[in-house]
Structure 1
Amino acid sequence: MANKPEKAEVKIHIVSRRFVVRMLTTVTVFFLLYLAALYRTNADPIRLMQGLGIIWDMIFIDLLPPDWRYFSTSFEYLVETWNIALLSTTFAAVIALPLTFLASHNINKNPFLYRFIRTILNFLRTIPDIILAIIVVAFIGMGAVSGIVALTVFTSGILAKMLSETTEGISQGPLDAIMASGGNKLQIIRYGVMPQILPYYASYTLYVLEINVKASVVLGFIGAGGIGQLLNRNMKFFRYDRLSMILIVLFLTITLIDLVSNRVRGYLE
């Protein structure tokens, strides 16, 4: 009896050849873009490696050990930074709420007003917070008030933008039910919208608080008050031991705020 011919083995490719070609092309393009970026920015990896010794000396000779006696002064300015962040977040949360409803197409049916408010929010988010602080300092003067005003304006746009997108994605059923029963616009917002967006409102506000704590440190460099002003002063006088003490206090505080805020946001969500 003649033996049956063995069937030829069929190779099944996990990925197609076209996919491999596309991936190789994409990686090559990105690699060339990185090379072009290095060339255009005059970035020299060898020079970077040579500077590691300077960084090592700065950390272990200039910054360490920190000046522990400077803790009380650092903490005093840190409290001012916290107050700037807390007040600006509170004001932003109040201002952002009516802007949210005006920037939501399912609440605001006027297309002109809707686009106008959206344009304002985009404009507020476009201007960096440090530029706003410079403008406010020029008008009001140096101090914590300038930082509060700048962060309030900047984060109002961020908070209203996030909340308006959340509001546009809520369930339309409760809104239609209230409208069908004769409810006005305020009643629709109070009983149909707020119960759905309230957890997100609290979560986003806590997130903005984290942003403002970190941003208020940077704004202190241009005279907007807070611990950033203290950082700038000690950098000018080359007091790196005090600078490291400020950074330690700032690191521990921001870490604590992040942990507490993440726990609260996780509970609300």
Structure 2
Amino acid sequence: MAEAREKEAAGRPPRGETLLYLNGVTKSFDGFKAINDLSLVVARGEMRAIIGPNGAGKTTMMDIITGKTRPDAGEVYFAGNTDLTRHDEAEIASMGIGRKFQKPTVFESHTVEDNLVLALSGQRGIFSTLFHKRSESDSKRIDTILETVRLTAKRHLPAADLSHGQKQWLEIGMLLAQDPELLLVDEPVAGMTDAETEETAKLLREIAETRSVVVVEHDMHFVRALGVKVTCLHEGHVLAEGPLDQVSADPRVIEVYLGR
């Protein structure tokens, strides 16, 4: 095990060349190690898929990255030299890290377009934002986001009228309105139709052309459609990493995850 970790560390790029850098991260809750000496590196412009059984530490890992949870030990750096363990959730979000939870949280009584306007506005209140004269650049940006998340034709509909999958796309659009450099997406296709799942894979691949994306997902067909490097977590540590075919063929991954 020690030899494997030394080999892993030797193949890791220098911190300054990475966007997200976790090294030796550990977090315990009442004696249970939810994260156990976790090391993970995501490059600028990379999309990474994170898989693993329930309790593998996926959610805790994202909580640590976004400042919701403090690690007991280890390094967590963003953009080379920003120590995320020294910042709270609001500060980390303002640095360019956006997180989408599994359940979409949109303003259902407002239109699709207004949801994006509110996300774009930052700290302004709802009333002042919706009645504020929008700049030409803001309007163009909203048009671009609507096109990216496949909702141009739905822009004037209340968000409540969208399908579950379209609400997921809208929330991704709301994150894009905040212009994150790193997007963390938790099980984006849960509850989606097959057609929506396929379109979501295309959407995330397009987004990853301009920013880094980390996707936590259980749907292996969707992960395959992403066509990216896969990291499998187990008991708070990286069990296997590489192309999906390589990871899914690993006997350890089959035993603890895919074989169940």
TM-score range, shorter chain: under 0.3
The structure whose residues are more often strand, as a share, is 2
What TM-score, normalized to structure 2?
0.20
TM-score, structure 1 as length reference:
0.20
- Looking at CA atoms only, which structure, 1 or 2, has the larger radius of gyration? 1
Structure (1/2) with the larger helix percentage: 1
